[in-house]
Amino acid sequence: MNVLGELVVLRAMRVSDADSLWRWNHDPDVMRFMVEGYPQTPETVEKFLAERGRNAYGDTLFGVESRKDGKLIGLVGLQGAEPETGNAELTIYLGEKEYWGQGYATDAMRTACRYGFDKMRLHRIWLTVVVGNDAAHHVYQKVGFVDEGRLRQASRRDGQWRDVHIMGLLEGELR
């Protein structure tokens, strides 16, 4: 099942996407504000996608494709959802840098949130963003997310500790 946005299509990640995901995860510009992980092999990424590619209510992972050319440009996920709480954490990033700053991330956010509220019947979607990642913070605010709190020194990258904003979006607040 594909989920259509204005600029993007959200679709299940495939094992064949492993090369793109591996490349993005090893690009310092793409990973600049992400949690620093350990180096992976392409085979490790394939295994991750084989295991994670079976989307279920509590854990969905979508590839973000450009509607213009069908190219896989990033991923977005809704994790930790439980029907009893109606909450899920959203994660997103665009790995293809030539698509940055053109509205693709905003559209992917809106499309994923619409899916979460309409199909998963969520009440609240939340996310975290590292202080200093102003472009992402702006996108999240544009979609309707509001700052709910701050975790002090909760993210470490390149030997530096940084604070993290917690942002939330309630059903009916999506812009």
Asked if the model's pLDDT at residue 26 lies above 90, the reply is no
Residue 52, SS3?
helix
pLDDT tens digits, residue range 112-166?
A: 999 999 999 999 999 999 999 999 999 999 999 999 999 999 998 888 899 999 9
CA pair distance 97, 49, nearest whole angstrom: 22
Closest alpha carbon to 174 in 115, 103, 86, 101:
115
**Average pLDDT of the residues in 62-71:** 97
The predicted structure's pLDDT at residue 1: 80
Q: Which residues pair with 62 in a beta bridge?
A: 12, 76
**pLDDT band (50, 70, 90) for residue 105:** very high
CA dist., res. 147 & res. 126, Å (int): 10
Q: Which CATH class is domain 3-170?
A: alpha beta
Q: What is the mean pLDDT of the chain?
A: 92
pLDDT at residue 55 is higher than 90: no
Q: What is the pLDDT of residue 43?
A: 87
- Kindly tell me if the per-residue pLDDT of 100 is higher than 90: yes
For residue 137, count other CB atoms closer than 10 A to its CB.
17
* pLDDT tens for each residue of 27-38: 888 878 877 666
- Say what the pLDDT of residue 45 is: 84
Q: Do residues 76 and 94 make contact, with C-beta atoms less than 8 angstroms apart?
A: no
Contact 161, 131 (CB under 8 A): no
